[in-house]
Structure 1
Amino acid sequence: MPCKSSEELNELVLEAKKYTKYGKVADYIPELKKAHPHDLSVAIYHPNGTCRSAGDIQQKITLQSISKVLTLALALIDCGEESVFRKVGYEPTGDPFNSIIKLEIMNPTKPLNPMINAGALAVTHMIKGKNIEDRLNRILSFVQELTNNPNVTYSQEVAKSEFETAHLNRSLCYYMKQYGVINEDVEELMDLYTKQCAIEMDCLDLARIGIVFAMDGVEPITNKRIIPVDVARICKTFMVTCGMYNASGEFAVRVGIPAKSGVSGGIMGAVPNRFGIGIFGPALDDKGNSIAGLKLLEMMSIKYALSMF
């Protein structure tokens, strides 16, 4: 079913676009610097398969940190809750997503939660498979099932760009390897992780992932359960408490839905039992969230009474 342009959403997008001038495109991953800072688009996907949109929703986005929610779901399916949370914690952090400081001061040494980089690397380490290629194919197959799009793959250019510049993430891996949180070759884990972050899709695909989480793990058109209900619940809880980096508390107050952002400017939202949201706006605020995307969600939350609180 085609995604229909919505005049109401267009008006909200035009209003939110005014905030792009206050943001900046991510530049520490060279390939991401190519994005146009004033772009903004949104797709809303309903349980009956209808879709409303505004902006260029066909524009491709790499998932970046949005992938952390998806690999957490897969790791929980693979290993179970007890095993996963032996390696990573449950608690939000007020530190930046790429900070190493809590690894140094916590006892036992393990990442505070799966939504910061250290936690996401530990989670990706738990994805099962014979080798890196097999594990990547399992992640891709899972994402293809969530989006109902067999053509979803990763951007080789972005993955290469990330792999060549991910020195801080390597530091996190070596620190965790020292304390037994991970025990595989760091370069192999970095290869898998950077390809995971470089998985590419459009806003409609993002919204389709959002609807699966919104419906507690069930794809509403096929009525197929893709994610166990308890796994979906855990993932949505982390999206509320940690999904918007160290701005998650303010986001919970102003918007009040499970959501996850990425430094490419993507935001995936799940409005429980109502719809999934996919947003792309590459100009970021100082926390690493889409500055216009956040404003758009704030306006949508007021207009459509989205908050679950």
Structure 2
Amino acid sequence: MARNELIEKTLADAMEYARTFLHTGKVATYIPELAKGDPDRLGACIITTDGEVYHAGDWRQEFTIQSISKTITLIMALQTVGYEKVFSKVGVEPTGDAFNSLVRLETKNTHPLNPMINAGAIATADCCMDSKDPYGGFLALTRKLCRRDTIQLDGAVFESEKKAGMRNRSMAYLMRGDNILEHDAEEVVDLYFWMCSLSVNAEDLANYALVLSNNGVDPRSGVKLVEDWIVRIVKTLMVTCGLYDASGEFAMKIGIPAKSGVGGGIMGTVERKMGLAVFNPALDPKGNSVGAYRVLEYLSHYLGLHYFSGSGCAV
């Protein structure tokens, strides 16, 4: 099958465009281990539903999945305890607050507003604790979605998160006090830190994004990996909440369901077309990767990927 030269060239051009912005970002420092990241690293991968794979830059570079894991945690929680229980503990509305904010919990809106902020992800991790093997089950699900059975924990980042994670512990104890969490707060927050500390690369996340774009089916194997109703929920929340308090701007400018993480990754899905993932550890003030944002911005514009693009998708 002939490779799509438009995708290949546009991806290369997007990388050059994004590099001009890298100096405006800073690596995350509140987790000490993440402060070791190289802000000049930039890698990307696109995988289309017909099986073509396009790589650029540092796509092999591994980084911790961080908040992109929240989408997988939500999938596992929904598969484990079902819709009613998950959404009795967490809402579905955008917050407008920073991802690690305690404000809503402190003002007695006791339920986290959505599963894509830290408090919401801790609540969904609590649901995953009902699984027979929360750690093994989450790792197996991540490996299956990313199509790589060698994905492992970054132990140094996990330990660093545990030492620096006092705000997240505070959220967990507040929610335990309000009976939102059903399990021990320390055990739940340890699982949450562990989920965030798995090590992936851009191709792994593009594989996962491709499954989401194809309604939960891996188009290369034809195997159904995630139920339709769960995919719909996850992608909807990616649109409204996937880039923290920059989600509205991202939806307007780029217009694809996406999820970011402070490890430097952003994963995006283009319905029935492709999965994309970009990595760059330099973050903007809202915690989103500067380089990944700019690569996706360029691709969306020149390939017509925006879900409300009047001209339609160019590929």
TM-score range, shorter chain: over 0.9
* Residue 130 of structure 1: how far off its partner (Å): 6.2
Tell me which residue corresponds to 1:36.
Answer: 38
Superposed CA deviations along residues 216-261 of structure 1, whole A, max 9, x for unmatched, are 1111111111110010000000000000000000000000000000
Matched, 1:160 2:159: yes
Q: In structure 1, what residue type is equivalent to 2:124? A: V
Residue of structure 2 in register with 1:48 after alignment: 50
SS of 2:30 mapped into structure 1: coil
- Distance in structure 1 (CA, Å) of the matches to 2:119 and 2:127: 13
The farther-off stretch of 118-127 and 44-53 is 44-53
Distance (whole Å) between structure 2 residues aligned to residue 25 and residue 148 of structure 1: 28
Segments of 5+ residues of structure 2 without an aligned counterpart are 309-315
In structure 2, what residue type is equivalent to 1:110?
H
Does the CA contact (< 8 Å) of 1:266 and 1:279 recur in 2?
yes
Residue type of the alignment partner of 2:146 = T
| 2:118 is equivalent to residue 117 of structure 1 | yes
Percent pairwise identity: 43
| Shift in Å, 1:287 | 0.3
Deviations, residues 47-78 of structure 1 (Å, cap 9, x unaligned): 12210121011000111000000110111111
What is the aligned partner in structure 2 of residue 69 from structure 1? 71
Compute the displacement of 1:278 (Å).
1.1
| Contact kept in structure 2, 1:44 and 1:277, CA below 8 Å | yes
TM-score, normalised via structure 1 length: 0.95
CA 1:121 to 1:89, structure 2 compared with 1: closer, same or farther past 3 Å?
A: same
CA separation of 1:130 and 1:269: change in aligned 2, threshold 3 A:
closer
Distance in 2 between residues matched to 1:96 and 1:123, nearest whole Å:
18
| Cα distance in 2, alignment partners of residues 25 and 128 from structure 1 | 31
Does 2:291 correspond to 1:289?
A: no
Residue 11 of structure 1: CA displacement?
A: 2.1
**CA shift at 1:187, angstroms?**
1.8
Q: Contact 1:267–1:293 at 8 Å: present in 2 too?
A: yes
Does the Cα contact within 8 Å between 1:19 and 1:292 map onto a contact in 2?
Answer: yes
- Cα distance in structure 1, aligned partners of 2:103 and 2:290: 26
Name the TM-score, length of structure 2 as normaliser: 0.94
Alignment length, in residue pairs? Answer: 305
Which structure 1 residue ranges, 4+ long, deviate > 6 Å from structure 2?
Answer: none
Q: Distance in 2 between matches of 1:272 and 1:8?
A: 19
In the TM superposition, residue 7 of structure 1 has moved relative to its aligned partner by: 4.2
CA distance in 1, matches of 2:131, 2:74: 19
Deviations for 1:19-74, whole angstroms, at most 9, x for unmatched residues? Answer: 11110000111111111111111100111221012101100011100000011011
SS of corresponding position for 2:277: strand
CA-CA distance at 1:128 after TM superposition: 4.2
Equivalent residue of 2:180, what SS?
coil
For the residues of structure 2 that align with 1:65 and 1:85, how far apart are their CA atoms?
A: 19
- Give 1:77-116 correspondences, 5 Å limit: 77-107=79-109, 109-116=110-117
SS at match of 2:15: helix
Q: Is the 8 A contact 2:14 2:294 kept in 1?
A: no
- Say which of 18, 21, 34 aligns to 2:20: 18
Does structure 2 retain, via aligned residues, the 8 Å contact 1:39–1:280?
yes
Residue 193 of structure 2 corresponds to residue 194 of structure 1: yes
Partner amino acid, structure 2, of 1:81? Y
Distance 1:270 1:106 in 2: 35
Gaps of 5+ in 1: none
Q: Which amino acid is the alignment partner of residue 230 of structure 1?
A: W
> 2:65, 2:196 within 8 Å by CA — same for their partners in 1?
yes
- Structure 1 residue 304 displacement after superposition: 0.6
CA distance in 1, matches of 2:217, 2:9: 30
> Which residue pairs with 2:219 in the alignment?
220
Contact map agreement 2:10 2:302 (CA 8 A) in 1: no
Instruction: For 1:175 and 1:297, locate their aligned partners in 2 and report how far apart those are by CA, in whole Å.
Output: 37
Given that 1:254 and 1:298 are in contact with CA atoms closer than 8 Å, whether structure 2 keeps it comes out as: yes
SS of aligned partner of 1:286: coil
**2:228 is matched with which residue?**
229
Q: Helix, strand or coil for the counterpart of 1:276?
A: strand
